Structure formats: C-alpha cells, structure tokens
C-alpha cells in the first residue's frame, strides 16, 4: 500500500499538520520535477519558513489568551536617538521586571520587537509577556523610569497569528536594515514547538484532533500525488503561572 508522509507541529494550543505523497525515486531529475509540481502555496505551507510563521509558532507555544501585549513609548524630551539606544532602555526595563518577578517566585517569558518606521518614525517597543495577575502597576512604575505612555492589550485566543504578522510588518514592508538583522527576540526560557514526522497509509485521511477549531486548510492534487495542510486551535488549557524551577 502506498504511503504518505505526515508532519505535525504542536505549539501550545496550535496544531499544524501537513500530509503529502512521499516521492520515492532514485532519479534526481524525476524527484525535482515532482516537487516542482507542488503548488507554491503548498510549498510555503510545508516549509513555514517566513519570519512571521516562525514567530507565530513561538508565540503559540508560550502564550495564552490571558497574557499581555504591552506597547511602550517615549515622551518627546526623552526619545532615544537611535534604535540601539532604545533597545538598551528596553533591556534595562526587562532586567528590572525579571528581578521583581523573581522576588515573587514568578518567571518572565517574553517576545520583544522595536519599531520606528511607522507612528511618525518614533521609536517604540512591543512586548508580549506572560501575565501573573499583578502586572499593570509594576510595569507602569518600571517604565516610568525609561519612557512615557503604556498600552495594554490581551494576547487573545487567536493572538499568535495576529501578533506575529503585526510585529514582523516593518521588515516585510521596509526590508531589513542589514543582513542578519534580528527584528524580534525572545527570553531564553521560551518553549519550542514540537515537530514529529511519520509515514501513514494513503487511505489515512488527515483530520484535526477532536474538539479542535479548524482555522485554515489547503488541499492540492495532481498526477504526482496530493497534498493536504491544516491549522487548528485546540481547546485552551489554563495558563498557570510558572514556578521558580521555570525561571529564565
């Protein structure tokens, strides 16, 4: 019986899977021709190589709807002269927030990005972090030493894709400032998505787990075989505050 290859990525409550006809041939030219007949959307879905897709999986693996998206801005008289100077201000703020949380036995898990092309060219920061239930006032107090206004938003149930696209928009529109420029960074203690591979009979249809909400799917078929891709959200579990053993 013919086999198909299946790839599954689990990142928090996000489930992403692809199943496609396995190409078994020793003829390299035939193999390249077969791969070329997979549609562009199918190849892109299979690789998940875009910056926003990589960020989406990291966000999904580490944050839940109750977590926070914080936007940090500067007042006119205290605006950093360069992006590097702004990043140092953010470093100081994160260091202070991590110290405070450690004193409470809580971890700090975050993803950060600095922007400056839009909003009138003013430098500002976006910070996605795990919520503890005691965040607003301490964040306001600590940022008052470095900047000005603060906006809070919930991460949201489907926040991974939304915020990943939003926080990677500048390099997509403006391009990277230089080769190798890191447009977003995370804390060291982020969890990584889990990827698994297997071969299944071609009669074994790809289906989302029970209770999952299917967000997107794509199917493609030609004389070389077929391709099926799906993204779904699993029911969200409680997001427990990390213990001291999880501190980064």
Identify the pLDDT of residue 239: 41
Per-residue pLDDT of the chain (248 residues; tens, 9 = 90+): 678 889 999 999 999 998 988 765 554 555 555 555 555 555 566 565 578 889 999 999 999 999 999 999 998 888 899 999 999 999 999 999 999 999 999 999 999 999 986 656 789 999 999 999 889 999 999 998 766 789 999 999 889 999 999 998 875 555 555 444 567 999 999 999 999 999 999 889 999 999 999 998 988 876 667 889 999 999 876 443 333 333 33
Q: What is the pLDDT of residue 11?
A: 95
Which structural domain range is residue 77 located in? 61-190
- Count of domains forming the chain: 2
3-state secondary structure the chain: CCEEEEEEEEECCEEEEEEEECCCCCCHHHHHHHHHCCCHHHHHHHHCCCHHHHHHHHHHHHCCCCCEEEEECCCHHHCCCCHHHHHHHHHHHHHHHHHHHHHCCCCCCEEEEEECCCHHHCCEEEEEECCCCCCHHHHHHHHCCCCCCEEEEECCCCHHHHHHHHHCHHHHHHCCCCCCCCCCEECCCCCCCEEEEEEEECCCCCCCCCCCEEEEEEEEEECCEEEEEEEEECCCCCCCCCCHHHCC
- Clarify whether residues 37 and 65 are in a common domain: no
Q: Are residues 95 and 118 in the same domain?
A: yes
Are residue 17 and residue 119 in the same domain, yes or no?
Answer: no
Q: Identify the pLDDT of residue 20.
A: 84
Residue 16 counted as domain residue: yes
CATH of the domain at 103: 3.30.70.1290
Total number of residues shown for the chain: 248
Q: Is residue 33 part of a domain?
A: yes
pLDDT value for 145: 74
Asked whether residue 87 is assigned to any structural domain, the reply reads yes
Give a yes or no: residue 201 inside a domain.
yes
Q: Confirm whether 247 is domain-assigned.
A: no
Statement to judge: residues 68 and 168 lie in one domain: yes
Can you say how many angstroms the Cα of residue 151 is from the centroid of all Cα atoms in its chain?
21
What is the pLDDT, as a whole number, of residue 112? 97
Query: Residue 41's pLDDT is what?
Result: 56
User: CA separation (Å) from 82 to 5, 52, 86?
Assistant: 48, 25, 6
Report how far residue 50's alpha carbon sits from residue 45's, in angstroms, rounded to the nearest whole number: 10
Residues 118 and 158 in one domain: yes
- Among 190, 210, 225, give the residue marking a domain's end: 190
157 and 76 housed in the same domain: yes
One domain, residues 83 and 143: yes
One domain for residues 91 and 157 = yes
Tell whether 131 and 214 lie within a shared domain: no
My answer on whether 94 and 184 are in the same domain is: yes
In 3D space, the residue among 94, 84, 89 whose CA is nearest the CA of residue 74 turns out to be 89
Same domain, 67 and 157: yes
In a domain, 155, yes or no: yes
pLDDT at position 69 is 97
Is 23:34 a contact under the CB 8 Å cutoff?
yes
Same domain, 157 and 204: no
* pLDDT at residue 120 in the model: 67
């Amino acid at each position: 019986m013919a086999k198909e290859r299946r790839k599954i990525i689990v990142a928090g409550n996000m489930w992403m899977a692809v199943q496609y006809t396995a190409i078994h041939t020793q003829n390299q030219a035939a193999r390249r021709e077969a791969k070329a007949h997979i549609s562009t959307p199918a190849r892109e879905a299979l690789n998940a190589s875009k910056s926003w897709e990589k960020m989406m999986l990291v966000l999904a693996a580490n944050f839940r709807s109750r977590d926070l998206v914080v936007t940090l801005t500067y007042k006119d008289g205290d605006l950093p002269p360069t992006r590097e100077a702004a990043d140092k201000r953010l470093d100081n703020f994160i260091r202070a927030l991590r110290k405070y949380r450690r004193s409470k036995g809580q971890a700090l898990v975050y993803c950060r990005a600095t922007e400056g092309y839009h909003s009138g060219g003013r430098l500002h920061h976006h910070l996605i972090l795990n919520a503890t239930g005691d965040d607003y006032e301490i964040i306001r107090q600590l940022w008052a030493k470095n900047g000005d206004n603060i906006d809070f938003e919930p991460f949201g149930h489907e926040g991974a894709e939304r915020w990943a696209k939003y926080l990677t928009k500048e390099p997509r529109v403006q391009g990277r400032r230089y080769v190798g420029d890191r447009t977003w960074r995370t804390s060291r203690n982020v969890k990584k998505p889990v990827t698994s591979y297997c071969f299944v009979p071609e009669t074994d249809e790809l289906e989302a787990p029970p209770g999952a909400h299917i967000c997107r799917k794509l199917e493609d078929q030609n004389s070389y075989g077929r391709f099926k891709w799906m993204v779904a959200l699993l029911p969200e579990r409680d997001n427990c505050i990390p213990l001291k053993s999880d501190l980064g």
